[in-house]
Amino acid sequence: MSKVYVGIGSNLGDRQLNIDKALEKLKTRKNIQFSEVSAIIETDPVGNVNQPKFLNACCRIDTTLYPDELLSVLKSIEREMGRGRDSAPKRLNHEEQLKALEEGRNVEDMSRGKQSLARNPEDDDKWDPRIIDLDILLYDDIIMRGNNLIIPHKLLHERIFVLEPLSQIASELIHPVFKKSIRDLLIECKAHNNTSTQKQELLVKEFNENATVPVLAHPQPSSPKTFLGLICKLLRIPYPKLTQTGTRDEAH
């Protein structure tokens, strides 16, 4: 039997219950033996951050299913739990139907066109909120790239929310592409994220420091008239009339 690691995530509804249900469904599938599961961790969303926090976990299963067969099983569990219901064909609203009739176009054709625009098959929904998400992370030491499945998961080494729970049950497991353990990949990923955060904070600090004093003019301290003009511009008031008294300009 093949040893497979599956990533699990949920951020809609009862997240804990969703993960529990997914694990129970996975245990009942034929040709799959459930082995172990990590602790569940709560993580901030990545990419599209305007959504609820996730609960994430990883589990190990032993199976005789081929990778594409296992993928079909995981997707069927996602559908059973409600994921993908928003992919039904989009219907035209009343105004769109009237416009189509006036222009002599077929309403059904427009509906299909609207669906294709609303959901491009090539779009990646990896950042979308979801009831449940089941991903094949590693399948033995297989390296494969298909139209619908890439093993190891192409973003595994970049995702702390996957590496942390995976390291709980397979810290010494070697990534077949990078030839590094899951523990080492987690350490590198955390270090990279910390460095990126520090760079962002430094850029923000530099911007704030440079933006505190706008460069409106470069007056010479020895020129009161030029300095007065700058003050008037900053206060948005008319430039005062000046009279000549000796060698100095004074405002009245």
Residues 6+ apart with CB under 8 A from 241: 251, 252
Element (H, E) at 190: helix 182-211
pLDDT at 117: 42
pLDDT at 239: 67
pLDDT at 251: 40
Q: CA-to-CA distance for 219 and 114, rounded, in angstroms?
A: 60
Instruction: Determine the residue type at 172.
Output: E
Q: CA-to-CA distance for 252 and 240, rounded, in angstroms?
A: 7
Element (H, E) at 228: helix 224-235
pLDDT at 147: 84
Q: CA-to-CA distance for 93 and 242, rounded, in angstroms?
A: 69
Average pLDDT by stretches of 10, the chain with 252 residues: 97 95 95 96 82 94 96 96 58 56 54 46 56 97 92 94 97 96 96 70 57 48 60 71 50 40
CATH code 3.30.70.560 region(s) in the chain: 2-84+116-198
pLDDT at 241: 64
pLDDT at 196: 59
Question: Under CATH, domain 2-84+116-198 is a member of which superfamily?
Answer: 7,8-Dihydro-6-hydroxymethylpterin-pyrophosphokinase HPPK (3.30.70.560)
pLDDT at 199: 58
